[in-house]
Amino acid sequence: MGRSYTLYTIKKQNHLNTWPQILFTNGVVRNMGSVKDLLVIAQPSKNKPGTAQFVFSDRYSVFDWGEMPDLIEDKGAAICITTAYFFEKMEEMGIPTHYRGLVEEAEIKRLADINSPQSRMELNLLRVLKPRIISDTYDYSMYKEERANILIPLEIIYRNSLPEGSSVFRRLKAGSLSLEDIGLDKMPYPGQVLERPVLDVSTKLEASDRYINWNDAKELAGLSEAELEEIVSITLRINELITREARRAGLTNEDGKLEFGFDEARNLILVDTLGTLDECRFTYDGLPVSKEIARIFYRNTNWYDAVEASKKDDKVGWKDLVAIEPPALAPALRDAISMLYKASCNEMTHRIWFDDVPAVKEIVEEIRVILET
């Protein structure tokens, strides 16, 4: 008898105190981004992980808005292949993950065994515990009691440099981040390469990601000192791997994010996705090779101004205050971004998955011209 599937399509919700989510029949809430769907095969419990599949779409998201108005062709397959490549590298390094394999013709296969680009990946599914909102404050107290088979409600960010557009500059200006926090003795400049990686941490399950310090992160997620140290150690190892692999494709790994969880025995595992143009900020000769390109476009729109103003007025329900919808990308830029995802996948994984795609170098030059006109 074949598997029974339930497909949950995640869409942007624009309501106070809510974010994209799906609700299982047992009341467990699954929170996802706006760029992939979750195909549930077996639901998780306190004592046993579930089974699910990521279905990577051609949607994209910037500035925590959710699904944007247009699609980037083949983005989903390029992201799926790239992150599978890095998951299998994790296995070689002895780092546990939730990855099981890619889905082709109803079979679970290793990357080397698939015949064409796929956009579906099978994984172990953890529980996602929704923080309660009490008096406009997120309450994470359940993480002190729930110890296993859970997503850790944090995003871990590594920074190898501070490219233009990095949130570090905004936070330094606002006073929410100090030079001491990032190991510097004077104000950095856009493009500065750091002598050693700086790690940052933010919330994961709130309406907008919120940067916090490491003591708050430890308390919020119910982590021990040893668990926090393990997260830091693994993050640095993964950063080194992605940096090395990206360099072989001519890319500079400026920064990126990772997510972790605990399995049924509370062993740390890597979850979600990694090493892609959505999770990392890559550059080629100073120009972004990531979804930062879309951010550059949108920073010059009235919609972006409205988003920033609303976030200052209401950190939780800001989306309800934005009266205008985001515009679509310029068609030439959208098509160039599509080619960039495909070319980066080809060059990062050292296999031609997408035919008739120019080299990353050529696409970057085209995008540079588009952004300057």
The string of DSSP letters for 21-78 reads EEE-TTS-EEE--SSEEEEEEE---SSS-EEEEEEE-S----TT--S-SS--TTHHHH
Residue 366 has pLDDT above 80, yes or no: yes
Residue 1 has pLDDT above 60, yes or no: no
- For the chain, the farthest-separated pair of C-alpha atoms sits apart, in whole angstroms, at 65
The average pLDDT across 117-142 equals 94
> For position 27, what pLDDT does the model report?
32
For the chain, where are the alpha helices, taking DSSP H only? 75-93, 167-174, 214-221, 225-248, 292-298, 302-313, 331-349, 360-372
Residue 147 has pLDDT above 70, yes or no: yes
Q: What is the DSSP string of 140-190?
A: -GGGGT--SSEE-SEEEEEEEEE-TT-HHHHHHHHTSS-TGGGT-SS---T
**How many of the other CB atoms lie within 10 Å of CB of 20?**
19
Rg (CA), the chain: 20
Cα(48)–Cα(335) distance, integer angstroms: 43
pLDDT band at 30 (very low <50, low <70, confident <90, very high): very low
Cα(208)–Cα(165) distance, integer angstroms: 18
The average pLDDT across 307-331 equals 92
The average confidence (pLDDT) of the chain is 89
Report which residue type is found at 54: F
> For position 358, what pLDDT does the model report?
95
Cα(349)–Cα(85) distance, integer angstroms: 6
Residue 33 has pLDDT above 90, yes or no: no
Distances (CA, A) of 236 to 156, 241, 256, 277: 10, 9, 11, 19
| C-alpha 125: how far from chain center | 17
List Cβ neighbours of 15 (8 Å cut-off, separation of 6 or more): 317, 319, 320
pLDDT band at 166 (very low <50, low <70, confident <90, very high): confident
Residue 299 has pLDDT above 90, yes or no: yes
> For position 3, what pLDDT does the model report?
53
pLDDT band at 314 (very low <50, low <70, confident <90, very high): confident
Cα(12)–Cα(198) distance, integer angstroms: 32
Cα(196)–Cα(41) distance, integer angstroms: 42
Residue 283 has pLDDT above 80, yes or no: yes
Structural domains in the chain, sorted by start: 6-372 (3.30.470.20)
DSSP type of residue 197: E
Q: What percent of the chain has pLDDT over 90?
A: 75
> For position 2, what pLDDT does the model report?
46
Write out pLDDT tens, residues 43-79: 999 999 999 999 999 999 999 898 999 999 999 999 9
Q: Looking at per-residue confidence, does 26 or 342 come out higher? A: 342
Residue 319 has pLDDT above 70, yes or no: yes
Residue 301 has pLDDT above 60, yes or no: yes
Q: Looking at per-residue confidence, does 223 or 135 come out higher? A: 223
- Sole residue written with tokens 């095969």: 41
Residue 19 has pLDDT above 60, yes or no: no
pLDDT band at 31 (very low <50, low <70, confident <90, very high): very low
The whole-model pTM stands at 0.85
Residue 198 has pLDDT above 50, yes or no: yes
Among 354, 360, 357, 371, smallest CA distance to 80 is for 354
**How many of the other CB atoms lie within 10 Å of CB of 369?**
10
Cα(88)–Cα(172) distance, integer angstroms: 37
